[in-house]
Amino acid sequence: MNTIPTVRVEQAELARRTIRRSDFVSCDQAFIDCRTPGSDRKENYAMIGPGVSQSPGQVINLREPHGFNVGAAAMPNGVTNSMHLHFTAEVFLCFRGEFLVRWGTDGVDGELVMREGDIASIPTWVFRGFTNVGSDDGWLFTTLGEDDTGGIIWAPSVLKEAEKHGLYLTAAGELVDTVAGDPLPDESQLVRPITAEQIAALRTYSAEEMRGRVATPDDLVWSDAPFLDSTLPGGGARLAAVVGYGITEDRFQEPLIGNPHGHSIAWLRALPGQGVSRHRHGRSQVLIVKDGEWEVTLNGPGEELSVRLGPWDMLSIPEGAWRTVRNVGDAEASAVVVTGGEGRVRLEWDEEVVRQAADAGVALDHGGYLAPAALVPRR
């Protein structure tokens, strides 16, 4: 029995949920280290949800709760994002350049280099920081677990250095800029630095353990048949599961990173004319284009609305909305699919897709996985 409420997306809503690369607005005072030498030329972006920004001036493209946040960080060569830890999942998606990621309170527990196409999930309650060691136009998209991330904890040295430049942080996570004229709150209202004893109680991670949380392009395991429509005209997209099982219907496909994040992340790839046929599910979903040109069509027959997305554009698709995704460019295209929820997401396919798949000898079993149609009892 269908339990997914039908959602019809209007043109204004589609426009609201379409975030172009040209719509990204940076904030250079998002964090307490924004005046610290070596960290003072960072750009922070919040496309979906506020993320962990500490600035009231941060532009947020879409505040709609998704169960996760999507943002980005950019900085010139040599600039560093200071050591801090998160309470919920933080995933880096390197779309351009090279970044040196360090972890541990002082950044000496280990390090790794992220390059274009890499995705890295940094564990919660671990101090981390990163530096642009590539060209000046490096770019990291980020996803954060949950709608309310709880903010971040800065390493004590970061807070101490910020005070030299007139910046303080309240216990409520608000940035106080005394240089700009903000009154300094009473000391009882300011955040207390994490103690040495509390730091000592945090878990440490080896380089080998952290490497297991990185998915490079060479690590990806692509499924050639991840969906019911994989052999049908208009289908044929390939999928690589990175974080969580997400939307795959290939029972043999396993994610490279399996611990709970509050969302799943997968790479989607398609040749011209291929994609994913009309389907829907009950989770929020965001498509972030890496390269190529994609067309996403929402709603059912007779009510279709379409939008074309180019490199770095993103689209938020609401729960319950019918959607078709297709590569409309002249070369293979790739995108990142971020889907809300901890576990697998069961897809509901358009009846015509189900019929065509059955004619081709493919059906979904009662576990929601691809199986020979002749062996699956009719419902």
CATH number of the domain within which 40 lies? 2.60.120.10
CA 46 – CA 143 distance, rounded (Å): 10
| CA–CA–CA angle 219, 251, 244 (5° rounding) | 50
Rounded to the nearest angstrom, the gap between the alpha carbon of residue 84 and the centroid of all alpha carbons in its chain is: 19
Rounded to the nearest angstrom, the gap between the alpha carbon of residue 144 and the centroid of all alpha carbons in its chain is: 7
CB atoms within 10 A of CB 60: 18
Q: Do 247 and 126 fall into the same domain?
A: no
Q: Among residues of the chain, what percentage have pLDDT more than 70?
A: 99
Given 160, 195, 215, the domain boundary residue is 215
- Only one residue has tokens 């989607």, namely 268
CA distance between the termini of the chain: 10
Q: What is the pLDDT of residue 54?
A: 81
**Which carries the bigger pLDDT value, residue 76 or residue 267?**
267
- Only one residue has tokens 């044929």, namely 236
Segment holding 11, helix H or strand E = helix 11-17
Q: Evaluate if residue 347 carries a pLDDT over 90.
A: yes
If you ran DSSP here, which 8-state letter would residue 150 be given?
-
Q: Which amino acid is it at 78?
A: G
Q: Do 204 and 238 fall into the same domain?
A: no
Segment holding 13, helix H or strand E = helix 11-17
Q: Do 45 and 183 fall into the same domain?
A: yes
Minimal CA–CA distance to 265: which of 252, 249, 279, 248? Answer: 248
Residue 173 lies in a domain: yes
Q: Do 230 and 211 fall into the same domain?
A: no
Q: For residue 175, which phi and psi values (nearest 5 degrees)?
A: -85, 130
Q: What is the pLDDT of residue 1?
A: 42
**Which carries the bigger pLDDT value, residue 311 or residue 185?**
311
Minimal CA–CA distance to 309: which of 331, 320, 325, 332? Answer: 325
Segment holding 162, helix H or strand E = helix 156-163
Please give the model's pTM, rounded to 2 decimal places: 0.95
Q: What is the pLDDT of residue 2?
A: 57
Q: Do 166 and 278 fall into the same domain?
A: no
Tokens of 48: 């979906």
- 40 with 34: CB under 8 angstroms? yes
Q: What is the pLDDT of residue 31?
A: 84
Minimal CA–CA distance to 276: which of 233, 332, 321, 222? Answer: 233
Q: Do 208 and 284 fall into the same domain?
A: no
Our count of domains for the chain comes to: 2
Q: Do 210 and 296 fall into the same domain?
A: no
Note the residue count of the chain: 379
Q: Do 197 and 233 fall into the same domain?
A: no
**Which carries the bigger pLDDT value, residue 303 or residue 54?**
303
- 170 with 176: CB under 8 angstroms? yes
Q: What would the pLDDT profile of 82-98 be if each residue is shown by its tens digit?
A: 999 999 999 999 999 99
CA 230 – CA 233 distance, rounded (Å): 8
Give the structural domain span for 272. Answer: 222-375
